[in-house]
Structure 1
């Protein structure tokens, strides 16, 4: 499929893929080929289907919360609240939640009945 025959959304996908791969250092010609290949694959796999793409708000908030946790020593609670436009109480809750998640991920589960 040539670019002028490609639907706008697939053309945009190819362009964005090419730009991202170039940002990662892939040479332009290879990046372009991969962009077109991905657009073709998406068209072949999902063509004709209505597709909703979520904005990833939860993922973005999780990323933000991890940044807050990692920056707490450098900026302090008030600095974090100001930087992220959150209340001091919200920053405390975020830090407590991330701390609990990290503790839980490090703890081993004991088998029952032994």
Structure 2
């Protein structure tokens, strides 16, 4: 699926994969790819600016984790991030219901299918 397909939904995707606990950037990319069964592939150049923006907005916290000689930035949801994720989910459900009702309308009562 093209990267453009996630435009407008990236924040929700990032917040969602961080709901279960802190992750570093590559693990976030991997989690999105696994959850989407390979349909969504995010690039580093896409997620890091978004993660930094979400942190500036107070939706994420980050810290540095050392693994051997490597240091990686780990991101975690804040309470505000959890509230934002709940809002994203509600908005997504409303959006998909509206689009679904146009693309796949229910038959009018009393009509044959």
**TM beyond 0.5:** no
TM-score by length of 2: 0.24
TM-score by length of 1: 0.23
Q: In proportion to residue count, which structure has more strand? A: 2
The structure with the largest alpha-carbon Rg is: 1
